[in-house]
Amino acid sequence: MLITIPDVLTPEELAHVRKALEETRWVDGRATAGEQAAMVKKNLQVPVDSPVAQELSQIVLRALGRNPTFSSAALPMHVLPPMFNRYDVGMTFGAHVDGSIRVVPGTGMRIRADVSSTLFLTPPEDYDGGELVVHDTYGVHKVKLPAGHLVIYPATSMHSVTPVTRGSRWASFFWTQSMVKDDWQRNMLYDLDMSIIQVRQQMPDDHPAVVGLTAHYHNLIRHWSEL
């Protein structure tokens, strides 16, 4: 399940994030990659323990917390603090699968990476290349979104970033441990939730169809969740 979510960041938040990143220090992105991913990774990242990374991470987390589509699609139990990367000309990330277990910096806490997310921070017209390419059962999907937009997809997916040939591509990326581990179940719940929203727009909230579908949705979460 690949889902794009528009306008996760407000224009003001996006401008603040961009300005902070323009003034901060970047390091080799291979520092946070696993053994296999490090062989195909060529980009830059903001050090996760820097004050700038920690401040901007909180901005992204607050934006996710107020976004109902992210909550419905990811059903988050834990969200790893968002990180920030950039791809300048010639930089790329070859095909790989994200590591299954991530450690929350500074805590030793481990989370299972169920859902991968990329929040685009650069307008697509400012760079060439740099598409996120996600491979799944239904084929190959190339993603290049407006700044402030988010894409989420199963962390089990093979994916890559094509080489940047002009400009610079900046993004925030992070992983979520979902309350519902299975991607097919999450997909079903998301589709059901979207259908409930549509039904509620056409019927009163106390209509038997609305009440019944909502009850079914919550009982499925109760049955499938790992809380």
Please indicate, yes or no, whether residues 96 and 34 belong to a single structural domain of this protein: yes
Query: How far is residue 56's CA from residue 9's CA, in Å, rounded to a whole number?
Result: 11
Please indicate, yes or no, whether residues 146 and 203 belong to a single structural domain of this protein: no
Asked which of 158, 178, 198 is the last residue of a domain, the reply is 178
Please indicate, yes or no, whether residues 41 and 137 belong to a single structural domain of this protein: yes
Please indicate, yes or no, whether residues 129 and 209 belong to a single structural domain of this protein: no
User: How many separate domains does the chain show?
Assistant: 2
Assess contact for 145 and 122: CB atoms under 8 A.
Answer: no
Please indicate, yes or no, whether residues 37 and 143 belong to a single structural domain of this protein: yes
Alpha-helix runs per DSSP H in the chain: 11-22, 35-38, 51-65, 68-74, 183-202, 208-224
CATH number at residue 98: 2.60.120.620
Please indicate, yes or no, whether residues 164 and 189 belong to a single structural domain of this protein: no
Please indicate, yes or no, whether residues 172 and 200 belong to a single structural domain of this protein: no
Average pLDDT over residues 178-207: 96
198: Cβ contacts below 8 Å, ≥ 6 apart:
none
**What pLDDT shows up at residue 1?**
84
Domain span holding position 192: 183-224
Rounded to 5°, angle at Cα 225 from 220 and 156: 110
Average pLDDT over residues 100-116: 94
State pLDDT tens for residues 30-49. Answer: 877 666 666 789 999 999 99
What number of residues does the chain have? 227
Please indicate, yes or no, whether residues 143 and 218 belong to a single structural domain of this protein: no
Question: How many Cβ atoms are within 10 Å of 117's Cβ, its own excluded?
Answer: 26
Assess contact for 63 and 21: CB atoms under 8 A.
Answer: no
Query: How far is residue 124's CA from residue 103's CA, in Å, rounded to a whole number?
Result: 31
Please indicate, yes or no, whether residues 163 and 219 belong to a single structural domain of this protein: no
Please indicate, yes or no, whether residues 135 and 196 belong to a single structural domain of this protein: no
Closest CA to 132 of 156, 163, 101, 102: 163
Mean pLDDT across the chain: 95
Please indicate, yes or no, whether residues 191 and 152 belong to a single structural domain of this protein: no
Average pLDDT over residues 110-116: 97
Among 13-17, 37-41, 146-150, 205-209, which is the least confidently predicted range? 37-41
Assess contact for 43 and 157: CB atoms under 8 A.
Answer: no
Q: What dihedral do alpha carbons 19, 98, 138, 162 form, nearest 10°?
A: 50
Please indicate, yes or no, whether residues 194 and 98 belong to a single structural domain of this protein: no
Confidence band for 106, pLDDT divided at 50, 70 and 90: confident
Q: For the chain, give me the number of helices (H) and strands (E)?
A: 6, 17
**pTM score, two decimals?**
0.94
